[in-house]
A and B are shown apart, each in its own frame.
Chain A
Amino acid sequence: MIVELGHFALILGLCFSLALAVLPMYGVVRGDVRCMNAGGPLAVAQCLFVTLATAALLYAFLSDDFSVDIVAAQSNTRLPTPYKFSALWGGHEGSLLLWLEILCLWTLAVAIFSRQLPRDILARVLSVMGMIAVGFFSFSLFTSNPFARHLHNIPADGQDLNPLLQDPGMVIHPPMLYVGYVGFSVAFAFAIAALLSGRMDASWARWSRPWTNVAWLFLTVGITLGSWWAYYELGWGGWWFWDPVENASFLPWLVGTALIHSLAVTEKRGAFKSWTLLLAIFAFSLSLLGTFLVRSGVLTSVHAFAADPTRGMFILGFLFIVVGGSLTLYALKAPAQARSHGFGLLSREALLLANNILLIVAAMTVLLGTLFPLVMDFAGLGKYSVGPPYFNAVFVPICCVLAVLIGIGPSTQWKRSSTTSWLRAMVVAAIASFILSLILPTLFGGEFYLGATLGALLFFWIVCSSLVSVRHKVRNASSLLTGLKRLTPSYYGMLLAHLGFACAVLGVAMISSFHDERDLRMTVGERAESAFSYEVRFDGIEAITGANYQGQRGNFSLYKNGEYLRDLHPEKRRYHARASQVMTEAAIDAGLFRDIYIALGEPVGEDAWAVRIHVKPFVRWIWLGGVLMALGGLLAIGDKRYRSSAGRSRSELPKGESYAKT
């Protein structure tokens, strides 16, 4: 009964989204205030019903109602309760419902927090969000109904959630990622509303900046969590694989990063207007493309897609409508807004332009590498795979140039190239970072690696040049403290995000240079040496029993320079409901400067096991970088100018350089 009510609520949600897509827009066209104002209540109703649907499905999972197809496929009576929540989005249908739920929450948030916007703009924004919702409600209802059930031969127990997903990281990773993914729909809706209204001035950029920042920061958290999960859960100790599914989330992130930088120029200087609109369209289009890649089955196999093309064709058609429609609108409306705007070679505009070009090139290369095998397979030209070496070869140089520019950008000025005193300070920063970079990796590893030194150089360059930027900003203040207090949250947010990027670069460089990976055959009682004077002793194997699995646990002792540090217990698990699938649970001794990573392979003879012992220097810095970037985004939203009334034009904003880009 509850399940049917949920299904019914989803259908009602579709009805409300249809009304939301049509009514406010009709109001704008006809100048009907009542219709325009209907957007808010409709957004509330749409959100209410999709939440009821989600709650009904959640109830089915929690009450083990195996008559519902996806509960039977993804849950089990013995599945721990927190994982019954995450089982909801463990498959195709449920994750689409999550997509929809988050879209409706975003729409609701826009309706609530943007009431100070001009009425016609808000009406257009809500209508565009309604149109997107119509697409996804229909997709969910017509091609992948989460409430489909079998009332005959109800299975006694479910097939259980894929053990890989039975993990705390996987409970929060998909919602975070989706909040980011779907959040770009807000920036998209604002861009479309600006195009439709013909008012592409700085104010639309100011309205959509905080929304874009929130979406971006959630996407950052989501990607970081995904990388962390892959590291400890997959049992190989890798943290990024350039897997198409990863790339699908990374592409909107790259374009989204370009977008938040470009929005800064549009808001502050009124420049790059058309370009910013285009980026907003692309960021959301790439989110849709990612959804298509992950959800249509083309990645698993082009033939799987051809065998059951309804879902894939639906998203592809939707993608065509969204991209085609918005680009047509852009072509019709945007050029009229082109305005010449001169700036110097080392001005902030020039650097932000370079930032945008680099990020877009990076996104294009990743897109090329991701789509190449699909295109070749479709064309019947063979089954290719594009390996990590391709992505590393194209991505690393771009990141290095980006890191250099990140150092210069924040302390440059709008419009004109900067002064000689600034140039002198930057040269000092460059020399300081060069010296520091030579010291650090040598201290750490005793060996010289070009990659580690380069990473350290870029890290220190960003840190030192950020200090130059701070000093430059407080130079006129009576004391350092008053000067620091006067700087805005968005400036600190930018510094923090850039510092996060620096940490991630250092982490990647150090782990790529100094990592030590040994796959060994070990017998009980054997000691194995590892890098940096670590030693591991294999003490034995014991049987363990968990809530819904059985397995074996290895006992290892970790030593450094012959001194005992701690015990480590990697596991092998065999889940009851999926007996042929064995899971590796790695044991990790985590540290800020290094991780010791031990995973069990398989038994390879009497008392002998294959054992994976990795030493991973600075691996935490990669995720620390992601966390700092997200915190930076959070700080930037705290800027009080986003809470000022929308009626204020740009000229009324205080002049000066205290507002920095984020």
Chain B
Amino acid sequence: MAMHPLRKQRLAIVVFILLAAAAAAAFLGYALRENINLFYPPADIAAGKAPLDRKIRAGGMVAEGSVQRATDSLKVRFVVTDYSASVPVQYEGILPDLFAEGEGVVVTGQLAADGVFYADDVLAKHDENYMPPEVSDALEKSGKSAPYSGQESTGL
């Protein structure tokens, strides 16, 4: 059956768009599944609810007196706590400016079988009033209120 050339062109375009959309959707879904990181509060990690050896995020307050530095490298160990449970974290690198004991922090990395969280990335607060929302939530759940609650944006 001969098709009108215009109709043929339209059909080609529609088929192309459908195929491209299907491929894009499949690819997107895959990319998204591989690269989203779920947040676990310290209580969940201590209770064994967090998966091992998968990239996850954790957060809470840096426990007072828990920061230990190596003397020959930038290795650092500290404990993240929501005041009911805590997780030891190991990191090598430069800590953000606002990292301090008794302050909120969010770490991205993997939980190992030895119970230590090996962080690739440490995020502290953006400024002195800001508390990472995950952290304030985690603290709320554990029944300990956050020392800071103000929110502040830094402009666009």
Contact = CB atoms under 8 A, between A and B. Distances in A.
Most buried by A among B28, B57, B92: B28
Contacts of A604: 69, 74
A445 to B, nearest CB: 24
Contact of A521 (B31, B32, B73): B73
A605 B73 CA distance: 11
Please provide the 9 A-B residue pairs with the shortest distance between their CB atoms, ordered closest to farther: A301-B133, A390-B35, A601-B94, A383-B39, A393-B31, A389-B35, A582-B97, A384-B36, A519-B93
Contacts of A245: 156
Interface in B93-149: 93-95, 97-98, 100, 108, 126-128, 130, 133-134, 136-137
B84 interface: no
Interface string A362-396: 00010011001100000000111111011001100
Given A386-B32, A582-B98, A174 B133 contact: no
Contacts of B98: 580-582
A90 interface: yes
Given A95-B155, A165-B155, A602-B95, A393 B133 contact: no
B153 A584 contact: no
Interface residues of A, number: 60
Contact of A520 (B74, B128, B130, B136): B74
Contacts of B28: 365, 368, 394
Nearest to A578: B128
A578 B127 contact: yes
Contact of A602 (B6, B17, B72, B94): B94
A581 B94 contact: no
Contacts of A584: 97
Contact of A385 (B9, B57, B94): B57
B2 to A, nearest CB: 16
A612 B94 contact: yes
Interface in A593-637: 599, 601-602, 604-605, 610, 612
A248 B34 CA distance: 23
Contact of A90 (B128, B136, B137, B155): B155
B36 A386 contact: yes
B6 to A, nearest CB: 6
Contact of A300 (B5, B57, B97, B153): B153
A304 B151 contact: yes
Contacts of A382: 38-39
Interface residues of B, number: 44
Contacts of B92: 519
A475 B2 CA distance: 40
A300 B151 contact: yes
Contact of A89 (B20, B152, B155): B155
Contact of B32 (A91, A92, A372): A372
Contacts of B100: 580
Interface in B58-84: 69, 71-74
Contacts of B93: 519
Nearest to A181: B156
A174 B154 CA distance: 11
10 contacts: A164-B126, A164-B127, A165-B154, A368-B32, A384-B39, A386-B32, A386-B36, A394-B27, A520-B74, A521-B72
B128 A580 contact: yes
Contacts of A519: 74, 92-94
B69 to A, nearest CB: 6
Contacts of B130: 300
Nearest to A517: B93
A372 B35 CA distance: 12
B46 interface: no
Given A92-B153, A369-B32, A521 B6 contact: no
Nearest to A397: B27
A610 B6 CA distance: 67
Contact of A304 (B37, B71, B128, B133): B133
Given A303-B133, A385-B39, A164 B153 contact: no
B68 to A, nearest CB: 11
A300 B155 contact: no
Nearest to A235: B97
Interface in A562-604: 572, 578, 580-584, 599, 601-602, 604
Contacts of B39: 382-385
A295 B35 CA distance: 27
B153 A357 contact: no
B24 interface: yes
Contacts of B128: 578, 580-581
A95 B155 CA distance: 7
Interface string A422-457: 000000000000000000000000000000000000
Contacts of B154: 90, 162, 164-165
Contact of B74 (A248, A357, A599, A610): A610
A581 B128 CA distance: 6
A245 B100 CA distance: 26
A111 B5 CA distance: 46
Nearest to B17: A357
A136 to B, nearest CB: 15
Contacts of A612: 94
Nearest to B123: A385
